[in-house]
Amino acid sequence: MNTVLVTGGAGYIGSHACKALKATGYTPVTYDNLVTGWEDAVKFGPFECGDLLDRARLDAVFQKHNPIAVMHFAALSQVGESMQDPGSYWRNNVAGSLTLIEAAVAARCTKFVFSSTCATYGDQDNVVLNEDSAQHPINAYGASKRAIEDILKDFEAAFGLRHVIFRYFNVAGADPDGEVGEFHRPETHLIPVLLDAIDGKRDALTIHGTDYATPDGTCIRDYVHVCDLVDAHVLGLKWLQEDKGSRIFNLGTGSGFSVREVMDHSRTVTNRDVPHREGPRRPGDCTKLVSGSVRAEQELGWRPERSTLKHMITDAWRWHQNGHYDS
């Protein structure tokens, strides 16, 4: 059986990955402690509740399901929180991932797909980033992800643990079928926060900085649809199954959108105004953060077909209205 252990499979990206895996003939086994995930999102395969730091629990799950690969999403992922409480990020993300990697090697599960981040590159304003760009993370979140990348390289050298690492940019959108979607407590991502403001669930969207050196003064980010993103992870798994060796891929579209552009598209999709206020810049925010990589397209055959603002906001708005796990 083509079973894949998906850590964080009850979370936003992990649940979409489980759906994509099932649709392509794999059996996803979700491993999640439900601290930030939702059991209602586990719809596409077995669920095993457990923590990354619990080696005995991990060993039992590997023995029970005998997965052919690990797809690792489980992590704390809030930049601001990581600056205030770095210890939890090093403990959960790094120590937890090390425990998972050691358990995988012990179980002879030597294919590993890892969810990393463009935050490993740090603050490089107006630099179009590719996989060879220097990594200088400026917060514990980015630093923890870079450390895990280094651990994977060491375990490949020592034990033959082959891996595909995906560093991705701003993930947005939701499952077009409405089965799973984005839901965090608290919500910090631009599009769901903006939709909350439109829907009256918060009083206004705060624009953090309007004096950037961009056409409209707001910062620019590269957005990728969550369904396109998880399609890349399935392609990465197949890459490993074809014995093509370890590889790092950026996942972005190469196009960036400003905060005001996202707001304008949201008005068009929802036919509603966006209540908003202007605030100061946040520490560490870059002017422009955009992927310049074509490696995933050239080597994996990846095409981010739904990664337009219209698609991402339309799918997110549908989920926002109909699919919340707390509704």
Whether residue 186 has a cis bond before it, omega within 30° of 0: yes
CA distance 129 to 222: 11
If one counts the domains in the chain, the total is 2
Instruction: In whole angstroms, give the CA distance from residue 174 to residue 185.
Output: 17
Give me the tens of pLDDT residue by residue for the chain, a chain 327 residues long: 699 999 999 999 999 999 999 999 999 999 999 998 899 999 999 999 999 999 999 999 999 999 999 999 999 877 777 888 989 899 999 999 999 999 999 999 999 999 998 888 887 766 778 899 999 888 888 999 999 999 999 999 999 999 999 998 889 999 999 899 887 677 778 998 999 899 888 899 999 999 999 999 999 999 999 999 999 999 999 999 999 999 999 999 988 999 999 999 999 999 999 999 999 987 767 788 888 889 999 999 999 999 999 999 999 999 888 866 664
Same domain, 91 and 210: no
Pair 82, 108 in one domain: yes
User: Considering the domain boundaries, does residue 58 fall inside one?
Assistant: yes
Residues 194 and 245 placed together within one structural domain of the fold: no
Residues 6+ apart with CB under 8 A from 254: 128, 222, 290, 291, 292, 293, 294
Same domain for 28 and 120? Answer: yes
Q: Look up the CATH number of the domain holding residue 68.
A: 3.40.50.720
> Same structural domain for residues 215 and 229?
no
Do 112 and 203 fall within a single domain? Answer: no
The whole-angstrom separation of Cα 192 and Cα 198 is: 10
Quick one: 29 and 155 in the same domain?
yes
* Residues 237 and 302 occupy one common structural domain: no
**Pick from 166, 73, 169, 165: which is nearest to 129 by CA?**
169
Q: Are residues 241 and 260 in the same domain?
A: no
Question: Do both 218 and 230 map to the same domain?
Answer: no
Co-location of 11 and 95 in the same domain: yes
Task: Examine residue 179 and state whether it is found in any structural domain, yes or no.
Answer: no
In a domain, 178, yes or no: no
**Do residues 217 and 274 share a domain?**
yes
> What range defines the domain where residue 56 resides?
3-172+223-251
Whether residue 181 lies inside any domain: the answer is: no
Q: Which of 221, 225, 188, 196 is nearest to 324 (CA)?
A: 196
- Residue 157 in any domain: the answer is yes
Residues labelled catalytic: 141
Say how many CA atoms lie within 13 Å of 200 toward its Cβ.
Answer: 0
From 200, 234, 251, the end of a domain falls on 251
Angle at 13 between CA 306 and CA 270, to 5 degrees: 50
